[in-house]
Amino acid sequence: MKNVAVIGAGTMGNGIAHTFAQSGFKVQLIDINEASLKKGMETISKNLDRMVVKEKISEANKSDTLGNITTFTDISKGVENVGLVVEAATENVDLKLKIFNQLDDLCQEETILATNTSSISITQIAAVTSRPDKVIGMHFMNPVPIMKLVEIIRGYSTSDEATNTIMELSKTLGKIPTEVNDYPGFVANRILMPMINESIETLYNGVAGVSEIDTVMKLGMAHPMGPLQLADFIGLDVCLSILNVMYDGFKNPKYAPCPLLVNMVRAGKLGVKSGEGFYDYSQTRKAEKVASQFA
């Protein structure tokens, strides 16, 4: 179990790889896109630099962490000789089913297959493998190196042995694992996404503006970030995807995504990653681009 594969080098994937590598695991980071791997490794390096500046780790710790990560574009080579695979690909059910079917053929019989899905059924994912007892959810929170919670989700057939192994493993990462059962949205998003959706409905109905809604929730409810700002941070496309999974799973209108959210995603206004969502991040992105030219 000291050898771990992480599939996907995006925000969650590189954060998961960073966390395992910093805890002394050998990490095989896999992505079909070489540019994504390069960007993911650059992100890990920058995040480690921040930790060095804050004196949370030493330069030697940074070097060791980066040295623990090997990148692959070939999944068959990337999952060789690992005790655990953590899938952190795009939140798309068809893609995840395809990946897990492939992993089942490629991985050793005893390898545990985990998914970082934030809403998709673990039982459904496990059903495309011949090892449903070894398929489990590990829902990390963003940013992964900082956030302590890991939602551990048991599928219908997930074994006690696999669950206990992943619970203990999460603790070695310095995380606080919390076991939940396999229902749409699990716990975190079953509570969070309706709140975000209702905040968007409040804006859509003209009750208040963006900053006013966020101010009420930050000052009145002691939230560190307002729900609309948080939605931008998560990605409005991701929020929409999770709400659709919950709506399909429960068939309850309270989970139906707000029309404003649907239209914003259609228009490509996805939040921080696109430069605009409920807030405008274009100047920040321009500043980062200029700064990178002199780095």
User: Which amino acid, residue 142?
Assistant: N
Place of tokens 């798309």: 92
Active-site residue set: 118, 139, 151, 189
User: Which amino acid, residue 171?
Assistant: K
The pLDDT, as a whole number, for residue 282 is 87
The β-bridge partners of 217 are none
58-75: pLDDT as tens digits: 999 999 999 999 999 999
Record the pTM: 0.89
126-165: pLDDT as tens digits: 999 999 999 999 999 999 999 999 999 999 999 999 999 9
Residue 40: HSE in the Cβ half-sphere, 13 Å Cα cutoff: 29
The pLDDT, as a whole number, for residue 283 is 78
pLDDT tens across the length of the chain (295 residues): 899 999 999 999 999 999 999 999 999 999 999 999 999 999 999 999 999 999 999 999 999 999 999 999 999 999 999 999 999 999 899 999 999 999 999 999 999 999 999 999 999 999 999 999 999 999 999 999 999 999 999 999 999 999 999 999 999 999 999 999 999 999 999 999 999 999 999 999 999 999 999 999 999 999 999 999 999 999 999 999 999 999 999 999 999 999 999 999 999 999 999 999 999 998 766 545 433 433 3
Place of tokens 């669950």: 163
Transcribe 43-81 into DSSP letters: HHHHHHHHHHHTTSS-HHHHHHHHHTEEEES-HHHHTTT
The pLDDT, as a whole number, for residue 258 is 98
Sign of CA dihedral 69, 74, 75, 81: negative
Rg (CA), the chain: 19
What is the Cα–Cα distance from 107 to 187, expressed in whole angstroms?
Answer: 30
Can you count the helices (H) and strands (E) in the chain? 13, 8
Helix 188-204 vs helix 236-250: angle between axes, to the nearest 10 degrees?
Answer: 110
The pLDDT, as a whole number, for residue 285 is 60
Residue environment code for 153-189, b if the CB has 16+ CB neighbours within 10 A, otherwise e: bbbebbbeebbebbbebbeebebebbbeebbbbbbbb
Structure tokens at 62: 């940074």
The pLDDT, as a whole number, for residue 294 is 31
